[in-house]
């Protein structure tokens, strides 16, 4: 019985490992979590947030596995000063292959996350395929352009066969209603849910992306605990639009889920 409870706790804990984590609603190595509990780990201590004692400034102290949040040297998000972006020729090539597929949506308490189960949605970065795992939103935007934040930011989280991550980030500004997202927005889960629910309509994420191909590349991290590094970030320079009503509908459910910008340190930002 005790083991069952621990397993349940582990599953609940791992499903709470959200946002930029690729492991969505899958259970991530629950055995490890059981072990850490047996070592007297306080499950509450890993209950991170965006404000107060469990907010971003404290993430690194909440759990030993979150050490990168405070010790890391290549953390995300960052501010991108356009004047500091390297203009040298880039070898990086990005191919985006999204198709009309079904998704399931979950409110994990930190964001609204949309899980992908299709094999067809993927990007190719420098010749390597990264399959789309999930996408989710932050408000206000986590990345900044010349110190400017946007009302929302979309993160499309991908993983390759070596379980390396590549995240495509898209800024969202206020403008016309975004019809590509209207079906998702019509069913945004208002309360935290443990299970994801299948969306009524299929979505083609290709329709969502801006037309201009300008991209920023840099090496960073997950923007949520455990702040794991070696994440390849690709940010689209051109924002997409959503209506004020759509932006507010998200903010009514998730008022604030944005990590402050992190030091750039020795990193270079490149542009295609």
Q: Which residues bind Zn ion (CB under 5 A)?
A: 19-20, 155
Write down the least CB distance from residue 172 to Zn ion, Å. 13
Q: Which residue has the tokens 């791992």?
A: 14
CA separation for the pair 24, 92 (Å, rounded): 27
Give me Rg for the CA atoms of the chain: 18
Residue 168 or residue 203: which is nearer to Zn ion going by CB?
168
Q: Which residue's CB is nearer to Zn ion, number 155 or number 158?
A: 155
Q: State the minimum distance, in angstroms, from the CB of residue 19 to Zn ion.
A: 5
Neighbours of 103 (CB within 10 A): 23
User: How near is the Cβ of 5 to Zn ion at its closest, in Å?
Assistant: 31
For residues 235 and 269, which CB has a smaller minimum distance to Zn ion in the complex?
235
Shortest Cβ distance from residue 42 to Zn ion (Å)? 26
Would you say 143 and 209 are in contact if contact means Cβ atoms under 8 Å apart?
A: no
Q: Residue with CB nearest Zn ion?
A: 155
User: Smallest distance, Å, CB 76 to Zn ion?
Assistant: 9
Of 36 and 224, which has the nearer Cβ to Zn ion?
224
* Cβ closest to Zn ion, residue 10 vs residue 19: 19
């Amino acid at each position: 019985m005790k083991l069952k409870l621990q397993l349940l706790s582990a599953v609940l804990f791992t499903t709470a490992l959200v946002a930029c984590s690729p492991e969505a609603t899958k259970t991530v190595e629950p055995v490890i979590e059981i072990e850490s509990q047996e070592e007297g780990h306080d499950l509450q201590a890993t209950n991170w947030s965006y404000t107060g004692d469990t907010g971003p400034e404290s993430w690194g102290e909440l759990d030993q596995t979150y050490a990168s949040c405070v010790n890391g040297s290549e953390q995300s998000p960052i501010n991108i000063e356009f004047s500091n972006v390297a203009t040298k020729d880039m070898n990086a090539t990005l191919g985006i292959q999204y198709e009309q597929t079904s998704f399931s949506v979950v409110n994990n308490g930190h964001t609204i996350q949309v899980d992908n189960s299709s094999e067809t949605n993927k990007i190719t970065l420098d010749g390597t395929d990264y399959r789309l795992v999930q996408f989710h939103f932050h408000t206000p935007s986590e990345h900044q352009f010349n110190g400017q934040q946007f009302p929302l930011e979309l993160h499309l989280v991908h993983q390759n066969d070596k379980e390396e991550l590549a995240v495509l980030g898209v800024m969202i500004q206020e403008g016309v209603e975004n019809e590509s997202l209207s079906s998702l927005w019509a069913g945004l889960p208002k309360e935290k849910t443990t299970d994801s629910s299948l969306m009524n309509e299929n979505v083609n994420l290709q329709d969502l992306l801006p037309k201009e191909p300008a991209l920023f590349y840099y090496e960073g991290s997950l923007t949520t605990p455990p702040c794991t590094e070696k994440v390849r970030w690709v940010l689209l320079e051109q924002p997409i639009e959503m209506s004020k009503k759509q932006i507010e509908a998200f903010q009514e459910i998730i008022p604030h889920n944005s990590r402050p910008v992190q030091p750039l340190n020795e990193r270079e930002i490149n542009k295609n």
